Amino acid sequence: MSSNCQVRTDLALEARESVENTGGKMSGIRVEEYDIEEHGIHVTKVYVDTKNAAGRLGKPMGTYITIEADAMVEPDEGYHREISLCLAEELNDLLSEEGEKEEQSVLVVGLGNREVTADALGPQVLDNLFITRHMVKIYGKAAVGEGNVNLISCIEPGVMAKTGMETLEIVSGVIEETSPNVVLVVDALAARSTRRLNRTIQITNTGIQPGSGVGNHRSALTQESLGTPVIAVGVPTVVDAATIVEDALDKLMGPEKVFERGALSDLNNMYMTGKDVDEVIKRVSYTVSEGINIALKKGLVLNEDV
Amino acid sequence: MSSNCQVRTDLALEARESVENTGGKMSGIRVEEYDIEEHGIHVTKVYVDTKNAAGRLGKPMGTYITIEADAMVEPDEGYHREISLCLAEELNDLLSEEGEKEEQSVLVVGLGNREVTADALGPQVLDNLFITRHMVKIYGKAAVGEGNVNLISCIEPGVMAKTGMETLEIVSGVIEETSPNVVLVVDALAARSTRRLNRTIQITNTGIQPGSGVGNHRSALTQESLGTPVIAVGVPTVVDAATIVEDALDKLMGPEKVFERGALSDLNNMYMTGKDVDEVIKRVSYTVSEGINIALKKGLVLNEDV
Amino acid sequence: MSSNCQVRTDLALEARESVENTGGKMSGIRVEEYDIEEHGIHVTKVYVDTKNAAGRLGKPMGTYITIEADAMVEPDEGYHREISLCLAEELNDLLSEEGEKEEQSVLVVGLGNREVTADALGPQVLDNLFITRHMVKIYGKAAVGEGNVNLISCIEPGVMAKTGMETLEIVSGVIEETSPNVVLVVDALAARSTRRLNRTIQITNTGIQPGSGVGNHRSALTQESLGTPVIAVGVPTVVDAATIVEDALDKLMGPEKVFERGALSDLNNMYMTGKDVDEVIKRVSYTVSEGINIALKKGLVLNEDV
Amino acid sequence: MSSNCQVRTDLALEARESVENTGGKMSGIRVEEYDIEEHGIHVTKVYVDTKNAAGRLGKPMGTYITIEADAMVEPDEGYHREISLCLAEELNDLLSEEGEKEEQSVLVVGLGNREVTADALGPQVLDNLFITRHMVKIYGKAAVGEGNVNLISCIEPGVMAKTGMETLEIVSGVIEETSPNVVLVVDALAARSTRRLNRTIQITNTGIQPGSGVGNHRSALTQESLGTPVIAVGVPTVVDAATIVEDALDKLMGPEKVFERGALSDLNNMYMTGKDVDEVIKRVSYTVSEGINIALKKGLVLNEDV
């Protein structure tokens, strides 16, 4: 990278590529990969094990799972159930690390701005979740189904420009009152490469960092800030405008030509997205919400099987 | 009223009429009225002073201000600024009772369901509020304007069927984290008479009671439950279906004929609304949000004038 | 019925019940019924064969198919595919009456007002249709699939209060320019009984009549007015307010008591709907759109099988 | 410009700058400018008088009026009435060129996709128009106001991917049925410079060309294609992604370095927009709709004054 600033990506996968491309050392980072060939799904797990590696990557220590599936962006009658199933499995792996519970109480947080199409992933995922907490509280577990039942609740905190409050303030307050075991945060992300847009799901146990997401969050939503384990699920829906120009320049001018990122200041707060973003977000949101629904129900089914 | 059950209305004004029509005693209730004739506005203030009166009325002790203006339901280029100004004045009167502050910190709560047109008043009012809290917190008071500046924030808690949480849980949590001086709750109400639909604004310092609003809230949002003064602003947008049938029956059969409300059980969870409800809610929401904007800015201006 | 006016219902099934209940003769009307027991589906076909019968029923001559399924109103993972399949089959029967074509060109018209939840069925059905006309026109049939391909297009004409135009004007113009073989009109209907709300689909080859639907259309959309065969698909989502009160009065006062419908004039332009109308409309729209998708694709598949 | 392809902009103003910057001759083009200093408004009128000039500019012969106002992008209590008034005046000038009529019949077409925030300008402008045609047709002119009354109607044709039809087909059909005197097309445009986004209104009597707008229309909406005079009103809300990268490259590499636009093919069908696009589009739509409302009412008032 010819500029001095860090190119912006919310994907640990891309951050790692970026470090590797400049000849960076990769100690402290483990990588596992597998394919589900019949469905064209590629899964990469990046474990950032040391503070040193975290610093070089610009991402906190923890696990980053990336599900890549080109089909995700395309129409499909069944809303890509195969991708939902893969997401459910990986989610359950991370959830089980947070401690096996007979009954999980999960708060799903849909970040983003419903009014801005590319930033609407979080809110749209909430629209298709199977919410159970109120039914169990009012009618008992029998109202929802047999066996152990997870208590699922959700909140759409909105964006600071409209609420006047930090997302952290709202989510902290809701956690204090409802005491979930785990928080699942869903957000639209920024990728570095247009090739990954809407084709990739990242799952991580490191939560949401300041400056990430389409809306550039100001404060972290992490186990440290919330006092509860946080799993973040994100899909890149935009590319940061300055980043894409920088990458094009690198490609065309060669890495030896140094230029000032300041020359691109016009592009601050601009992002790039596709023209069919509405249909794509609608489909991808459904795939993600189904993955979450299956994961949270699966926990129940697994317990029942015992 | 020929049935034994209480006819449902969220308007103290209608509850009082109902008691009076059956010859009920009205001690413990004071009423003041005034007109703004050039604008066709009629204001009624009902003060419920005793527990006894509250019991007969089916409404808690406190102040209920009703602004009636037939023009409110009609299109108008200026979004009925005269009604917004009247609302602002009455709101400021109630706000000043909660203690004069150099700087108010106000949390506005938009109750209801954005997806159900007749229940969307609360969320739509939030869309047009002037939110300042984050700007003052980040950039200081100078960013918003001169003199004392109120900190305005807002939240749309959604409905329990979608979040799995009680509104009380969400609002309590947000209050704990952000410590407002006063909470302003906006909600769509149920009236008894179709004649009052979308033509009436009720302001009260008693908060929101269980079973009120279009969505029939399960838990109270009051100073007692929230630990913060609560002012509620509501506009009746629907009539309870069973109530309207009962009233029609009373009118046609005469008060001596007793019938069983159970015969109307098919109508539970049904409400009645007008066919142009979308345009009406859009207009009325704007009138209410402007009233709130003026009130919260006015507080500032009044302090400046001193 | 004790009043002199015709009680309003868009369902031929209810109109027939109403005539029968008052001892009306039923000559000129044939009825066929069948059940799909494992799915709790009941199908009634009412054939109105004579002008005389049409007059008594208040519905034009033609075929009225009613699919009743209590499950339709309830949540279901698969969006009630069994009901969609039943709808597809009945739709194909009516479509094939309009003449077997190797390639059908179908214009789907979504009537109603997207901003009024109970009237949003038509527009929401369009959102999930599989539209092919532009792909075939631009890329050829191979772009959509093998074999004969139906050309599907759709339009949401909006409501007159917002467009200034009659729906008939807009649809006629679009037909003139795009020459479909058949027009499929989808609309939210008014039922007489709350028991049928969102649990019933009516399919008819008589089109849409003035005064029908939630929005009370002013002009007919029929083969006569459009010059193209018209099949209408509707789901009752509201009950006319005056009708429900009249029915309650009949039930409580007995049929011998005559009262003036004028006493209920306050209820004009009011309708009654359920509190969870948003979730119900979302689900039912999907069931209907899937039925249409299957029907229009099935035509193709059937041809392929030959 | 170092690349051989034409940089994409829908603004005649920018096309002219682009030609001038490369030393192009400007014969056949006249330019008039004026300022409304107290409101920070700059108006430029570009008259493309010859086919030759049209070819060099890549824009058809006709009049292009550009209203630039930096304030337009910022919040304002009165929705920038001063800009609406300027738009109304320029619109009326173009409308009067189409022939003075006692009574104008105007069809407003809102192009774009309501579900994609940056492309929602056209549909959102329709939401705030004062529609009169149906009222005059049903109740007569007295229902709308005194004197001559324009008949205003509007249509939101949607996008081809959702309707299966070309916009031209839908609009042609509606014109055939309703015979307006003039068609007013509103659309979101692509600019070359981020500096002009949401701060500029272009009005032209040349209609809409293929490939213009955010959604890249496939067929022209012009007097030639529609048989009715067409005035287009547009606001740039996006920048074409490839264009912005090219411009950045030109700036950084110097005009002598030639590069292949093909290197940027990843950016096809991508556009760049700001993060607060929802609030901006909401405000700008209101400014434009008020301008149209004033213009179409003004025509009436002017006639009355005579």
ipTM, 2 decimals? 0.91
Q: Which two tokens stand for residue B30?
A: 């004071």
Chain B partners (3+ C-beta pairs within 8 A): A, C
Cβ-Cβ contacts under 8 Å, B143 against chain A: none
A200: number of CA atoms within 13 Å, CB side? 25
Backbone angles phi, psi at C212, to 5 degrees: -95, 175
Chain D window 241-280: which residues touch A at a Cβ cutoff of 8 Å? 241, 244-245, 248-249, 251-253, 259, 263-264, 266-267, 269-279
- CA torsion angle A244 A245 A249 A250 (round to 10): -30
Type and span of the H or E element at D108: strand D105-110
Domains of chain D: 12-296 (3.40.50.1450)
Cβ-Cβ contacts under 8 Å, D155 against chain C: 158, 163, 165, 170
HEC string of A184-196?
Answer: EEEEEEEECCHHH
Q: Which of A217, A244, A267 to mutate to test the interface with D (most CBs of D within 10 A)?
A: A244
Q: Which two tokens stand for residue C56?
A: 């008594």
Chunked into runs of 10 residues, chain B (306 residues) has average pLDDT values of 56 87 78 95 96 92 96 82 96 85 89 95 96 91 72 96 96 98 96 92 95 86 96 94 77 64 71 89 95 79 34
Buried b (16+ CB within 10 A) or exposed e, C225-260: ebebbbbbbbbbbbbbbbbbbbbbbbebbeeeeebe
Q: Which of B8, B199, B244 to mutate to test the interface with C (most CBs of C within 10 A)?
A: B244
Give pLDDT, residue B254.
66
Quick: pLDDT tens for C198-234.
Answer: 999 999 999 998 888 888 888 999 999 999 999 999 9
Q: Under a CB-based contact definition with an 8 Å cutoff, are residues D171 and D155 in contact?
A: yes
**Residue D3 or A66, more confident:** A66
Give pLDDT, residue B306.
28
Quick: pLDDT tens for A139-183.
Answer: 887 777 666 579 999 999 999 999 999 999 999 999 999 999 999
Q: Under a CB-based contact definition with an 8 Å cutoff, are residues C214 and C193 in contact?
A: no
Pairing of the two strands D230-240 and D270-274: antiparallel
Judged against a pLDDT cut of 60, whether residue C304 lies above it is answered with no
How close, in Å, is residue B163 to chain A by CA atoms? 5
Looking at the DSSP bridge assignments, the partners of residue A231 are A184
Query: Of the given ranges (B239-243, C76-80, D70-74, D109-113), which has the lowest mean pLDDT?
Result: C76-80
Contact B126 A162 (CB under 8 A): yes
Cβ-Cβ contacts under 8 Å, A266 against chain D: 194-195
CA distance B141 to B132: 9
Backbone angles phi, psi at C200, to 5 degrees: -135, 135
Q: Which of B196, B272, B279, B281 to mutate to test the interface with C (most CBs of C within 10 A)?
A: B272
CA distance A17 to A14: 5
Contact B152 A164 (CB under 8 A): yes
Quick: pLDDT tens for C44-85.
Answer: 999 999 999 999 889 999 999 999 999 998 887 667 999 999
Give pLDDT, residue B300.
42
Measured in whole angstroms, the distance separating CA A57 from the mean position of its chain's CA atoms is: 17
Average per-residue pLDDT for chain A? 87
Judged against a pLDDT cut of 50, whether residue A302 lies above it is answered with no
Q: Is C61 on the interface with B (CB under 8 A)?
A: no
CA distance B257 to B268: 22
Q: Which two tokens stand for residue C210?
A: 């003035």
Judged against a pLDDT cut of 50, whether residue D306 lies above it is answered with no
How close, in Å, is residue D175 to chain C by CA atoms? 8
Give pLDDT, residue A275.
84
Chain D window 84-103: which residues touch A at a Cβ cutoff of 8 Å? none
Quick: pLDDT tens for D20-62.
Answer: 777 766 789 999 999 999 999 999 999 999 999 999 889 999 9
Angle, CA of B29, B34 and B37, to the nearest 5°: 155
Q: Under a CB-based contact definition with an 8 Å cutoff, are residues B234 and B249 in contact?
A: no
CB atoms within 10 A of CB D183: 25
Give pLDDT, residue B203.
98
The owner of tokens 């910190």 is B105
Cβ-Cβ contacts under 8 Å, B151 against chain A: 164
Give pLDDT, residue C25.
63
Cβ-Cβ contacts under 8 Å, D135 against chain C: 164
Contact C270 B271 (CB under 8 A): no
Q: Which two tokens stand for residue D270?
A: 């991508």
Contact A253 D248 (CB under 8 A): no
Judged against a pLDDT cut of 70, whether residue A260 lies above it is answered with no
C161, C248, C276: residue with CB nearest B276: C161
Chain C partners (3+ C-beta pairs within 8 A): B, D
To 10 degrees, what angle do helices C167-178 and D167-178 make?
120
Give pLDDT, residue D133.
95
Percent of chain A residues topping a pLDDT of 90: 61
Q: Which two tokens stand for residue A110?
A: 């849909």
Pairing of the two strands A230-240 and A200-204: antiparallel
Give residue C39's pLDDT band: very low, low, confident or very high (50, 70, 90): very high
Q: Under a CB-based contact definition with an 8 Å cutoff, are residues D240 and D261 in contact?
A: no
HEC string of B210-275?
Answer: CCCCCCCCCCCECHHHHCCCEEEEEEEEEEEHHHHHHHHHHHHHCCCCCCCHHHHHHHCCEEEEEC
Question: What DSSP string describes A48-88?
Answer: E-SHHHHHHHTS-SEEEEEEEEGGGGS--TT--HHHHHHHH
Chain A window 168-207: which residues touch B at a Cβ cutoff of 8 Å? 169-170, 172-178
Give pLDDT, residue A119.
95
- CA torsion angle B25 B29 B35 B41 (round to 10): -90
Cα dihedral sign for D162, D168, D169, D175?
positive
Contact A267 D241 (CB under 8 A): no
Residue among C113, C138, C133 nearest C123 (CA): C113
In eight-state DSSP terms, residue A26 is -
CA distances from C183 to C32, C108, C228, C289, D278 (A): 25, 6, 7, 15, 36
Q: Which of B128, B178, B221, B293 to mutate to test the interface with A (most CBs of A within 10 A)?
A: B178
Contact B134 A173 (CB under 8 A): no
Q: Which two tokens stand for residue B265?
A: 């059980």
**Residue D230 or A245, more confident:** D230
Residue among A174, A176, A173 nearest A153 (CA): A174
To 10 degrees, what angle do helices C277-305 and C81-97 make?
50
Quick: pLDDT tens for A34-53.
Answer: 999 999 999 999 999 999 99
B300 contact partners, CB below 8 Å, separation of at least 6: B145, B147, B148, B149, B150
Q: Which amino acid is at C81?
A: R
Give pLDDT, residue A212.
86
| Smallest CA–CA distance from D155 into chain C, residue | C163
Give pLDDT, residue C227.
96
Q: Is C28 on the interface with B (CB under 8 A)?
A: no
Judged against a pLDDT cut of 70, whether residue A122 lies above it is answered with yes
Backbone angles phi, psi at B223, to 5 degrees: -55, -35
Give pLDDT, residue A146.
62
Q: Under a CB-based contact definition with an 8 Å cutoff, are residues D266 and D228 in contact?
A: no
Residue among B251, B267, B273, B271 nearest B197 (CA): B273
**Residue C305 or C32, more confident:** C32
Contact D244 A245 (CB under 8 A): yes
Quick: pLDDT tens for D253-273.
Answer: 665 665 665 666 777 778 889
D140 contact partners, CB below 8 Å, separation of at least 6: none
CB contacts < 8 A (A, B): 94
Q: Which of C74, C214, C245 to mutate to test the interface with B (most CBs of B within 10 A)?
A: C245
Q: Under a CB-based contact definition with an 8 Å cutoff, are residues B249 and B198 in contact?
A: no
Chain D partners (3+ C-beta pairs within 8 A): A, C
Query: Of the given ranges (A77-91, A291-305, D79-93, D176-190), which has the lowest mean pLDDT?
Result: A291-305
How close, in Å, is residue D278 to chain A by CA atoms? 6
How close, in Å, is residue D279 to chain A by CA atoms? 9
Cβ-Cβ contacts under 8 Å, B134 against chain A: 160-161, 163-166
C47 contact partners, CB below 8 Å, separation of at least 6: C29, C30, C31, C32, C62, C63, C64
CB contacts < 8 A (A, D): 95
**Residue C125 or C251, more confident:** C125
How close, in Å, is residue C256 to chain B by CA atoms? 13
Give pLDDT, residue C274.
87
Give pLDDT, residue C256.
60
Give pLDDT, residue A306.
28
Residue among C237, C283, C267, C289 nearest C112 (CA): C237
Pairing of the two strands D182-191 and D105-110: parallel
How close, in Å, is residue B266 to chain C by CA atoms? 7
Q: Which amino acid is at D149?
A: V
Q: Under a CB-based contact definition with an 8 Å cutoff, are residues A194 and A272 in contact?
A: yes
How close, in Å, is residue C274 to chain B by CA atoms? 4
| Smallest CA–CA distance from D114 into chain A, residue | A278
Give residue C2's pLDDT band: very low, low, confident or very high (50, 70, 90): very low
D153, D164, D169: residue with CB nearest C164: D153
Type and span of the H or E element at D252: helix D241-253
Q: Is D108 on the interface with C (CB under 8 A)?
A: no
Judged against a pLDDT cut of 90, whether residue A114 lies above it is answered with yes
